[in-house]
Amino acid sequence: MTRTEPNRSSKSDSENSGGSGGGGGGTTAMRVIVPLQGVVQGRGGLFLGSVIPCAFFYFLQFYLKRNRKNEPDSGEPSPDSDPSSGSPDPTRSQSVGNLTELASLPRSLSRILLSPRLSGGAVSVSGRAGCVLKGGDSPYHVGQKRVEEDPYDDSGNPDGVIELGSAHNTKMDWVSEDPGEAISDGLCMSGIASYEPSHGLIELKTAVAGFMSEATKNSVSFDPTQLVLTSGAASAIEILSFCLADSGNAFLVPTPCSPGYDRDVKWRTGVDLIHVPCRSADNFNISMLVLDRAFYQAKKRGVRIRGVIISNPWNPTGTLLSRENLYALLDFARERNIHIISNEVFAGSVHEEGGEFVSMAEVVDTEENVDRERVHIIYDLSKDLSFPGLRTAAIYSFNESVLSASRKLTTLSPVSSPTQHLLISAISSPKFVQRFLKTNRERLMRVYAELVKGLKELGIECTRSSGGFFCWVDMRGFMSSYSEKGEIELWNKLLNIGKINVIPGSCCHCIEPGWFRLCFSNLSERDVPVVMNRIRKVCETCKSQN
Amino acid sequence: MGLPLMMERSSNNNNVVELSRVAVSDTHGEDSPYFAGWKAYDENPYEESHNPSGVIQMGLAENQVSFDLLESYLEKKNPEGSMWGSKGAPGFRENALFQDYHGLKSFRQAMASFMQQIRGGKARFDPDRIVLTAGATAANELLTFILADPNDALLVPTPYYPGFDRDLRWRTGVRIVPIHCDSSNHFQITPEALEQAYQTARDANIRVRGVLITNPSNPLGATVQKKVLEDLLDFCVRKNIHLVSDEIYSGSVFHASEFTSVAEIVENIDDVSVKERVHIVYSLSKDLGLPGFRVGTIYSYNDNVVRTARRMSSFTLVSSQTQQLLASMLSDEEFTEKYIRINRERLRRRYETIVEGLKKAGIECLKGNAGLFCWMNLGFLLDTKTKEGELALWDVILKELKLNISPGSSCHCSEYGWFRVCFANMSEKTLDIALKRIHEFMDPTSGG
């Protein structure tokens, strides 16, 4: 963002050189430039009156930029500090991007101004904290809050808000499905209370490796010593971001993507995300050409790309990446000498009949070391096993240096040991794991089929989802205008009239407005007609208004 | 800067992909003697019957003296509750789905009540100001992310816990500027030392964002005096910076009356602009001896910090099962009162045992009144009063006495010859053996 500052800011200031003073962003600079201009105008007229202040301005920027070289963009208000931002994405709305850059100038003139002075308190917090506090609430959070305040319950609160936003799998009741077999150990304090390696007990790693192998239908054998366990997928992604990229670098991420990346990858690391749009015309498949172009455009701007982040099954579309896709990505990464982060958190939730999940681990199995070392996989027990509260996710890597750094970093986000022991008991039984995965898949398949049928009856299409918990739904026909504004209006109607919480495509950085992510793992087959009725109500409202 | 961004396919065999500066730096501090000694212990751990000549671990501040109290409570009150929570299997399912970064209300209330009890009711804690993190390590890092920008500094009195080099600096990019304390006044923080540290930072054009203290202090094993706390708060107000008080050993003060929490001082202050620069870190790892549970908290009087910390805690949440497990135990005031009292008593006795034992061997310790360790002075044994001299002695103690203790230099102590010795992570018998080895070393003629 700072790379374009001098050009944009100096241009806008010369436009304002009539002395009217810029907006809030240029005011302080104006105080310097306007009097200077007055001095010059007497001799050299308008020409010198414009050129000299601009030159001064340019050099001032250069000087300041050098002095704050080591700082990431902590002073800039970043709307992307939340999991998904409600404020417009710069790629979709140019004017907002401009405002951001202008606003950053006065902050750099004074270190005091760098820290937001917040109401009620004299002492300031960091730029990183400031972002969160100044950014408004995104649809992601607003929706979540509405669900908390008024949660749907089929008997107790049938008019409540149905949660179709976040990726919980609440309907798998594995605990009552024979907990005795799954969990046999009691709690022995002295065995679990003392310090253990923060990156996870080897027994749990072994169990997780076994589970992951089962999820890939045993086409890959995962090595427990290449696993690092941590307290959630957010932490796993952040740890990898810290290990693979420096502040100011970037990852390429094909969009639409998980809303969580804005927080997990960017927030504390200072690493940026460069969105590579996929389009409905291509069924949202990744175009290697577009990826390549994004890479070179970034390079031209002086941004170093350190890796590409993919998810498989894809969040939010539910697509499974083919072997060809994965080989093409590996080639791309090899040629550019960058990493691949493969987010495989839904590996165990492939619900399409005959759907084949291919892990990146399988693809690199036969490759040379130098290529294996660029691949890192994220897995999350909470997704497939439907217990998010237990906070257990994993990084799987072939790169010993990454593993070594990650292990140390897990001291900052370790898995609680009673939880580790509980999980060891639960998932060490192969019979239990197989039965669980099978039941999970079948249930998801049934609900998904009902949902797609219901949507079709309403004239709503969605992309073909083969795995994971999401339906990527095309509601372009119901927007009042084909724009982000139109999308947010529709989202509001779905939430307030339909009382269903879905995620608008803008939170997933989708370049085409009108797509919504609908999570169906929270639904039973009985709930689907209720959801359809709600959507129908909103559709009818939209049709009558448009 | 590194490899060119595009490589031709054919020449890729030597194209090793690079990692970040964070990944390859040694700011994690794990190469220091503090951690190296642990390695020696791992390779040859003392075990009473099987390996009586192994290395005795005295470098790990873990509290094992009161386990029996926890075990008997859990077995008596809630044998099933340990796994399922009070509602049994259905309760577990609910629990397993809960992943709100606010944390279970019942658990936050229990933590607030426990923290209040430790302070003898002299300060009140609002459960809504408690943010849960997976351990105090995470809490300290999180606060650093929130209070300071990269290249800013926190002032930390020396000697300090070696882990701070990692927790406060590694990923945050924030620096530590030491507040030098020395034995002339029992290592207490003086206003002069504070000013000097602040000035050092300013001279280097570094912006100071706060002061971080541990109270009771690690590694000193002593509480911070009330007057010092008041001076610290004054200093922070004058400089308009934050004050973080890491009070993870607050329940391990031998006599309750000797501990003043910064919360007590803030309790009597109405001025919000003063209060909201104060933040407290707490954990159950030390007082309850449950490090494996990874339960830490940030308690802040600043609404913005609480709000941000909550969101940031998404990276380091406490498992809901753990919260459930501990909630009922910590809200049982009868149990916690008994536990705190007995734990303090046992720690005090251990402390007296080791200090007496060391005295008999001609070794003095700093007068301590808290924590799981003592601060021992072996300056008189050094060949040279330098870091090398100290490390040479440390090496001898590790290799010949087979005792892993922590050298003061790893705690950034400006005086050489001090060592931190932990005493609560072993049985009394093992402690005796350790003392015996020290006696033999100090006086080889004393016989074995």
Identify the three-state secondary structure at position A392: coil
Mutation choice for B interface testing from A416, A427, A522 by most B CBs within 10 A:
A416
Structure tokens given for A161? 């808000």
Spell out the residues 6+ positions from residue A265 whose beta carbon is closer than 8 angstroms to its own.
Answer: A237, A238, A241, A251, A253, A271, A273, A309
What is the pLDDT, as a whole number, of residue B22?
83
B51: which strand partners?
B47
Nearest to B434 by CA among B406, B397, B409: B397
From residue B60, give the alpha-carbon distance in Å to each of A252, B161, B431.
43, 11, 14
What is the pLDDT, as a whole number, of residue A156?
86
pLDDT value at A417 more than 70: yes
CB B81 within 8 A of CB A164: no
Least confident of A318-322, A435-439, B386-390, B396-400: A435-439
Mutation choice for B interface testing from A69, A113, A125, A269 by most B CBs within 10 A:
A125
Record the pTM.
Answer: 0.82
Q: Does A122 touch chain B (CB under 8 A)?
A: yes
pLDDT value at A13 more than 60: no
Q: How many beta-carbon pairs below 8 A join chains A and B? A: 272
Up-side HSE of residue A313: CA atoms within 13 Å toward CB? 28
Judge whether B161 counts as a catalytic residue: yes
Report the alpha-carbon distance of residue A408 to residue A3 in Å, rounded.
Answer: 34
Q: Mapped to the 3 state alphabet, what secondary structure does chain B carry?
A: CCCCCCCCHHHHHHCCCCCCHHHHCCCCCCCCHHHHHHHHHHHCECECCCECCCEEECCCCCCCCCHHHHHHHHHHHCCCHHHHCCCHHHHHHHHHHCCCCCCCHHHHHHHHHHHHHHCCCCCCCCHHHEEEECCHHHHHHHHHHHHCCCCCEEEEECCCCCCHHHHCCCCCCCEEEEECCCHHHCCCCCHHHHHHHHHHHHHCCCCEEEEEEECCCCCCCCCCCHHHHHHHHHHHHHHCCEEEEECCCHHHECCHHHCCCHHHHHHCCCCHHHHCCEEEEEEHHHHCCCHHHCCEEEEECCHHHHHHHHHHHHHCCCCHHHHHHHHHHHHCHHHHHHHHHHHHHHHHHHHHHHHHHHHHCCCEECCCCECCEEEEECHHHCCCCCHHHHHHHHHHHHHCCCEECEEHHHHCCCCCCEEEEECCCCCHHHHHHHHHHHHHHHCHHHCC
> In this predicted model, which residue has the larger pLDDT, B320 or A188?
B320
Q: Residue A251 gets which letter from DSSP?
A: E
What is the pLDDT, as a whole number, of residue A76?
32
Side by side, the strands of the sheet bearing A305-311 are A227-230, A393-397, A375-380, A339-343, A305-311, A250-255, A272-277
From residue A127, give the alpha-carbon distance in Å to each of A79, A135, B141.
12, 12, 15
pLDDT value at A173 more than 70: no
CB A272 within 8 A of CB A301: no
Q: Does A382 touch chain B (CB under 8 A)?
A: yes
Structure tokens given for A306? 């350190």
CB A425 within 8 A of CB A205: no
Structure tokens given for B222? 């002593």
Report the alpha-carbon distance of residue B288 to residue B285 in Å, rounded.
Answer: 6
Chain B residues with CB under 8 Å of A335 CB are 6-9, 12
Long-range contacts of B255-259 (CB under 8 A, 24+ apart): B255/B344, B255/B348, B255/B369, B256/B120, B256/B344, B257/B120, B258/B223, B258/B369, B258/B370, B259/B119, B259/B215, B259/B216, B259/B223, B259/B370
CB B272 within 8 A of CB B303: no
Q: Does B96 touch chain A (CB under 8 A)?
A: yes
What is the pLDDT, as a whole number, of residue A114?
32
Chain A residues with CB under 8 Å of B1 CB are 304
**Closest to B22 (Cβ–Cβ): which among A111, A234, A243?**
A243
Going by pLDDT thresholds of 50, 70 and 90, the confidence category of residue A431 is confident
From residue B4, give the alpha-carbon distance in Å to each of A299, A338, B107.
11, 11, 52
What is the pLDDT, as a whole number, of residue B11?
40
Spell out the residues 6+ positions from residue A9 whose beta carbon is closer than 8 angstroms to its own.
Answer: A26, A29, A57, A61, A101, A102, A105
pLDDT value at A136 more than 80: no
Report CB contact under 8 Å: B294, A417. yes
> In this predicted model, which residue has the larger pLDDT, A196 or B63?
B63
A162-163 and A375-380 strand pairing: unpaired
What is the pLDDT, as a whole number, of residue B338?
94
Of chain B residues 304-323, which have a CB less than 8 A from chain A?
Answer: 304-305, 307-308, 311-312, 314-322
Instruction: pLDDT tens for chain B, 448 residues: list them.
Output: 333 333 333 344 456 788 888 887 777 777 777 777 778 888 888 888 889 888 898 888 888 888 888 888 877 765 544 444 445 555 666 666 666 788 889 999 999 999 999 999 999 999 999 999 999 999 999 999 999 999 999 999 999 999 999 999 999 999 999 999 999 999 999 999 999 999 999 999 999 999 999 999 999 999 999 999 999 999 999 999 999 999 999 999 999 899 999 999 999 899 999 999 999 999 998 998 888 888 999 999 999 999 999 999 999 999 888 888 899 889 899 999 999 999 999 999 999 999 999 999 999 999 999 999 999 999 999 989 999 999 999 999 999 999 999 999 999 999 999 999 999 988 999 999 999 999 999 988 755 4
Q: Is the ipTM of this complex over 0.90?
A: no
> In this predicted model, which residue has the larger pLDDT, A269 or B77?
A269
Report the alpha-carbon distance of residue A403 to residue B23 in Å, rounded.
Answer: 10
Of chain A residues 216-255, which have a CB less than 8 A from chain B?
Answer: 231-232, 234-235, 238, 242-247, 249
Report the alpha-carbon distance of residue B444 to residue B432 in Å, rounded.
Answer: 17
